[in-house]
Amino acid sequence: MSELKPLTAIAQKALDYAKQLNATDASVNTSIDKGFSVNVRLGEVDRLEHHCEKSLYVTVYFDKHKGSVSISDTSDQAIKDAVEKACNIARYIQADPYHGLAEKELFATDIPDLDLYHPSALTPQAAIEKATACEKAAFATDKRLTNSEGVEIATHEYHNVAANSRGFHAETSGTFHTVGCGLIAEQDGQMERGHRYVTVRDFSAMPNLSAIAKTAAEKTLSKLGAKKIKTCKVPVVFHRDVSRGLIGHFLSAINGHNLYKQSSFLLDALGKPIFAKHIQINERPFLPKGIASSAFDGDGVAKQERAIVEGGVLQHYLLDVYSARRLNMKTTANAGGVSNLFLNSQVDGLDELLKKMNTGLLVTSLMGQGVNIVTGDYSRGASGFWVENGEIQYPVSEITIAGHLGDMFQHIVAVAGDAEPYNNIRSGSLLVEQMTVAGG
């Protein structure tokens, strides 16, 4: 692509200049990101933004001394200045025996086409018209929808070149398209918010905007008339909208940087049962059009499909080159995070999951930061629905759910097959056997 050629030239200039300054090694990442976003609220254009941003991130090594600089001006002089600054930083930073590029044999050499680049012909005017129609369709659903946080439509494309002094060179391009609808409903003096956001690689895969509006409206209206409940210990279903966050806490706990800092409740958990036996968690980095698909990680190391959890047993930590060295292990190519994580189990629908729970709490929204990855303690504000005999009875709010992540993972009874393809973590709704629910 035409955008990649100048990026390759920028990367090579930075590497060449680092070599001239006698750097032991160097790595560069340069990119261009461009697109626009519109927001329509109450039938009026609230915001229209265009962007076109270039960036260059340079890291140099002098033996085990490391220096990094990021710039947005990619002129020849700015590149030289950035490399010089990175070299100066490295000379003054204390040496770290674990610093350095990955071994050459680990770098990705075969970069497959993962079908990530799908630029849209959508114009700002067309986006405004679509957003206006989407909001109008939402308001037409019910008179209790009295206000809007707006409908946003955004589209952008990126082009990236990553390279280093050990021969690694990769060129990638991709697109993201997003539609979001946020609404406010009012009834008897009570106001509730609800939203629906969808991100895809290819705009043609975007759900119909009227369907997005309908979902946002239904989610907002369903919260009206919320009641408080008494403190109890009951089964809890985490709706797919929030179950991803629960899996995200697990990923934080097995992140190599938290592990070498002794800041995780899952220290020494490798090879041990962490989840219920029916749980399987897989990373699929080569998924075509995947939200986080990539053939290599932030270190340039080739990615692999892998089972992170198999039969409930933890098979791999999430390691980059640096944390792997600190732990005397091998990198798992997870610099920058995971690439398309799938939580698999026996498949139930959400309705079947509620019937299996019989009586308990369906959580659809979480608030607060009461999660301690060091101890595993979990306590968060929540709202959702009270369920009896497998049927939703009424919305509930102003409650707190509490437990321990280790116990919660071990006691996942079932996972619904309702995961959506619009996120990096694909988890359906999941049922936890029991948690403490603190009400009013």
Structural domains of the chain ordered from first start: 3-36+48-102 (3.30.2290.10), 124-162+169-222 (3.30.2290.10), 226-439 (no CATH)
Burial per residue of 395-409, b for 16 or more beta-carbon CB atoms within 10 angstroms, e otherwise: bbbebbbebbbbebb
pLDDT score for 208: 95
CA distance 109 to 300: 9
Lowest mean pLDDT: which of 4-13, 52-61, 209-218, 342-351?
A: 342-351
CA distance 13 to 16: 5
pLDDT score for 59: 98
**429 burial via Cβ count (<10 Å: 0-12, 13-18, 19+):** buried
What are the structure tokens assigned to 130, written together? 């679509």
Other Cβ atoms less than 10 A from the Cβ of 100: the count is: 17
Number of residues that this document lists for the chain: 440
Give mean pLDDT, residues 71-82.
97
- Side-chain half-sphere CA neighbours of 108 within 13 A: 24
CA distance 44 to 221: 23
Tens of pLDDT, residue by residue over 290-308, are 999 999 999 999 999 999 9
Q: For 68, list phi and psi in degrees, rounded to 5.
A: -135, 145
**Are the CB atoms for 52 and 78 separated by under 8 Å?**
no
pLDDT at 1 over 90: no
What are the structure tokens assigned to 192, written together? 């509730």
pTM of the entire structure? 0.94
State the maximum Cα–Cα separation within the chain, in Å, rounded to a whole number: 73
pLDDT score for 189: 87
**Are the CB atoms for 67 and 59 separated by under 8 Å?**
yes
* Beta bridge partner(s), residue 181: 151, 196
Q: What is the mean pLDDT of the chain?
A: 96
CA distance 236 to 222: 18
CA distance 127 to 304: 38
pLDDT at 369 over 80: yes
Other Cβ atoms less than 10 A from the Cβ of 76: the count is: 11
Q: Residue 349 — very low, low, confident or very high, per pLDDT cuts 50/70/90?
A: confident
pLDDT at 108 over 90: yes
**Are the CB atoms for 90 and 24 separated by under 8 Å?**
no
pLDDT at 175 over 70: yes
Which helix or strand (DSSP H or E) is residue 26 part of? strand 25-41
